[in-house]
Amino acid sequence: MFYVYYIYMESKAFYKSIKKHNLKENYIGSALARKYKANLHFNSSENLSKWDYLLYSLDDSWLCSCEQKEDNVCASEDDNLCFELFTFNQDGTKRLGAINKTKAKYIIYVITKMKLILSLDTKKIKDLIALHQSEGVLKTYVPNNFDAWRAKHDTAPTECALMNYNDVVLAAQSSVFHYNDLNINSIIYNGF
């Protein structure tokens, strides 16, 4: 009976985490739509890994797909940004991670501690990762203990590319917004 309760709590925590993530996507996606005077459409297809939402303008004839990611670790421009290369299955094998399977044109990278939102060109991020890999200088992170990771985060462990903040911002020709630029109340956002 205790084991079933433990599984239930993990599932409950996971669904709570997913709900928070969806609310953040709504919040950020809406703020970006206001900024760009655009319409917003969330991915309701069966393949949610392709993109999270679309921003588009019928009047100005443009559309862009966005994949949103949140970073709760990066605290300064000297830190690294993390891009998920692979996700580890329960049996230790790995499958493509978010950066490798997304079809989104832009990664909307929310840096909570810096109160920044980066709009990054996905292809340029992938190219930068490939360049670092080919030169043998790509830094990666893989958790040492997968069971501890699952217990703490209630998600599958990942292998991430660690990329310097400044390198990413320059290479991706990104737009950088402070929460205030998008009229995002950081107290409310951090309260999710």
Burial of 59 (0-12, 13-18, 19+ CB in 10 A): exposed
| Residue range 118-159, pLDDT digits in tens | 999 999 999 999 999 999 999 999 988 888 888 887 788 899
Per-residue model confidence (pLDDT) at position 174: 82
**Do residues 85 and 133 lie in contact, with contact meaning Cβ atoms separated by under 8 Å?**
no
Q: How far apart are CA 109 and CA 22, in angstroms?
A: 15
Alpha helices per DSSP H over the chain: 2-35, 98-101, 122-134, 146-153, 165-171, 186-190
β-pair type (106-111, 62-71): parallel
Per-residue model confidence (pLDDT) at position 6: 38
Cut 0.75: pTM above it: yes
Percent of the chain at pLDDT > 90 equals: 60
